[in-house]
Amino acid sequence: MDIQFTPEDLAFRDEVREFIASEHPKDLLGIRYRQHLKREDILAWHQILHQKGWIAPNWPVEYGGTGWTPMQRYIFSEECARAETVTILPFGLNMVGPVIYTFGSPEQKEHFLPKILSAEHWWCQGYSEPEAGSDLASLRTTAVLDGDEYVINGQKTWTTLAQFANWIFVLARTDPEAKPQAGISFFLVDMNTPGVSVRPIKLIDGSYEVNDTFFDNVRVPRENMIGEENQGWTYAKFLLGHERVGIAGVARSKTALGYVRDMAVHELIDGIPLAEEDGFSAKLAEVEIDLTALEFTELRALAAESQGHAPGAEASILKIRGTEIQQRITELAVEAVAHYGFPKEPSEDDTTALEVGPEYAIGAVDNYLQMRKTSIYGGSNEIQRNIIAKMVLGL
Ligand SMILES: Cc1cc2nc3c(=O)[nH]c(=O)nc-3n(C[C@H](O)[C@H](O)[C@H](O)COP(=O)(O)OP(=O)(O)OC[C@H]3O[C@@H](n4cnc5c(N)ncnc54)[C@H](O)[C@@H]3O)c2cc1C
């Protein structure tokens, strides 16, 4: 595909750049560690973009999308990454939103889509269970029809930011007799319904981002089921394709790599910048080449999507390479500043934080620990390789 910027693209880039500079809350620009953000911090940029009409670049225009070309979407995400805006959460906009406008009833579209756009509804993802992660189809949460309501019982786990959410999309078994994939349905559940409870799980870096979510006789109106009963697996897989494209995070990785490059310029070994040391500069160059290759792959996927092709197995390629590169960048950062010991970002609730070394060293270890998750969530990278083996290579 042709990826030259046209004059219109450049004008659009300037418009986005100016909008971010003038409208994004100043104190929230350049925050690299989302772990410490509050609910209202995460929502602030979302609401500003919503008012501007720019919150859903990937959606069809009729539901509130921007109508941008793939190149404009790419430019927009590049500019957000470059300025380090607050990350927009994917659960409503990139996950359940596309499921609702593709498979939902007219009433569901009318009710839920505007509330995703405005962030009145904060969605979380109720897929994984303690014994059902990679083997998601073995999930045991049940939904039993009782009159006009389904009664849901079971446990979900790793529910990201459920402590802030007011809605959760849930996969539950509606036919225990059918083969695993055939007996699952997809529900939209109000987190304020009696019987829903959330318990925090502490992560490796000490942050609180994920939860166990319990369903104890939770009654959900029948009209909150997506599509047909027992067809939930189809909708669930469609959603995962959308989830994986966003996970590649090319634009943010470029910014993160820029930080590592800066660190390497300032860090001296025997008076010579680390960036000029053969071994380290070769590693930086290698990541940069991999990232450029991934960027072109993502652009190809975007171009295909704009011609009406839903993300397919290529989403798995983006997920694997994107997350490998994200992790590699955090490893290089730790390699560059590890001699300061264990520099951690200070926070109100973390008394172990040590402010040692220069400012750019702080947070490198937090980020390294945080990013271990990326090769696990959204379907682990081993599972993505299985998908590629089956769907692309036909093995
Ligand atoms: C930080 C974080 C946030 C998350 N957020 C959410 C969320 O919001 N909502 C949600 O529903 N889920 C969420 N998840 C869950 C995530 O999707 C699962 O952790 C993931 O699917 C893996 O499942 P598991 O943890 O049960 O590991 P397992 O499935 O038990 O896998 C363990 C290991 O075995 C490997 N493995 C398993 N099966 C195979 C196979 N067939 N072939 C090769 N290797 C295999 C895996 O790759 C992995 O390395 C999150 C996870 C993390 C870590």
CATH code for the domain of 311: 1.20.140.10
Q: Which atom of ligand 1 is nearest to the CA of 136?
A: 21
| 125 phi and psi angles, rounded to 5 deg | -110, 115
Could you give the C-alpha distances from 308 to 62, 84, 179, 219, 301, in angstroms and in order? Answer: 15, 30, 32, 37, 11
> What count of other Cβ atoms lies within 10 Å of the Cβ of residue 199?
13
CA 132–ligand 1 middle distance (angstroms): 8
Question: Do 148 and 278 belong to one domain?
Answer: no
Q: Name the percent of the chain lying above pLDDT 70.
A: 92
Residue whose CA is at the smallest distance from ligand 1 atom 25: 133
pLDDT (0 to 100) of residue 302: 72
Residue 73 backbone zone (phi > 0: left; psi -120 to 50: alpha; other: beta): alpha
Question: Do 257 and 358 belong to one domain?
Answer: yes
> What count of other Cβ atoms lies within 10 Å of the Cβ of residue 252?
20
Question: Do 200 and 283 belong to one domain?
Answer: no
CA 298–ligand 1 middle distance (angstroms): 24
209 vs 343: which has the higher pLDDT: 209
Q: What is the dihedral of CA 46, 196, 144, 170, to 10 degrees?
A: 30
Question: Do 208 and 258 belong to one domain?
Answer: no
Residues taking part in catalysis:
243
Number of domains in the chain: 3
Q: Which atom of ligand 1 is nearest to the CA of 378?
A: 17
In a domain, 315, yes or no: yes
Determine the Cα–Cα distance for residues 238 and 220; give it in Å rounded to an integer: 23
Could you give the C-alpha distances from 214 to 92, 122, 184, 190, 191, in angstroms and in order? Answer: 20, 18, 18, 13, 10
pLDDT (0 to 100) of residue 339: 79
> Which of 96, 326, 370, 380 gets mutated to test ligand 1 (max ligand atoms within 8 A of its CB)?
380
Question: Do 262 and 319 belong to one domain?
Answer: yes
E strands present in 127-244: 142-146, 149-157, 167-173, 184-190, 196-202, 208-221
CA 135–ligand 1 middle distance (angstroms): 8
Q: What is the mean pLDDT of residues 255-268?
A: 94
Q: Across the chain, how many H-helices and E-strands are there?
A: 12, 9
In a domain, 311, yes or no: yes
Q: At 394, which amino acid appears?
A: G
Residue of 66, 192, 189 whose CA lies nearest to 117: 66
Residue whose CA is at the smallest distance from ligand 1 atom 17: 377
User: 58-62, 69-73, 288-292, 330-334 — which is least confidently predicted?
Assistant: 69-73
What residues flank ligand 1, with Cβ below 6 Å?
A: 124-128, 133-134, 158-160, 210, 373, 376-377, 379-380, 382-383, 386
Residue 354's pLDDT band, with cuts at 50, 70 and 90, is low
CA 128–ligand 1 middle distance (angstroms): 8
Residue whose CA is at the smallest distance from ligand 1 atom 12: 128
Residues 76, 81, 84: CA angle, nearest 5 degrees: 125
In a domain, 270, yes or no: yes
In the listed set 88, 110, 131, which residue is the last one of a domain according to the structure? 88
pLDDT tops 80 at residue 146: yes
Determine the Cα–Cα distance for residues 190 and 223; give it in Å rounded to an integer: 13
- Residues 344, 353 contacting (CB under 8 angstroms): yes
Question: Do 219 and 131 belong to one domain?
Answer: yes
Q: What is the dihedral of CA 300, 85, 82, 260, to 10 degrees?
A: -110
Q: Which atom of ligand 1 is nearest to the CA of 209?
A: 1
Residue of 137, 152, 139, 15 whose CA lies nearest to 72: 15
Q: Which atom of ligand 1 is nearest to the CA of 379?
A: 21
CA 170–ligand 1 middle distance (angstroms): 16
Instruction: Determine how β-strand 123-126 pairs with β-strand 167-173.
Output: parallel
311 vs 84: which has the higher pLDDT: 84
Question: Do 291 and 377 belong to one domain?
Answer: yes
Question: Do 44 and 161 belong to one domain?
Answer: no
Q: Which atom of ligand 1 is nearest to the CA of 127?
A: 11
CA 133–ligand 1 middle distance (angstroms): 5
Structural domain boundaries, residue 302:
249-393
pLDDT tops 60 at residue 343: no
pLDDT (0 to 100) of residue 335: 94
Q: What is the dihedral of CA 201, 203, 206, 212, to 10 degrees?
A: -10
Residue of 108, 205, 241, 215 whose CA lies nearest to 162: 215
Question: Do 63 and 149 belong to one domain?
Answer: no
In a domain, 109, yes or no: no
Residues in CB range of 303: below 8 A, 6 or more apart: 1, 70
Determine the Cα–Cα distance for residues 307 and 203; give it in Å rounded to an integer: 40
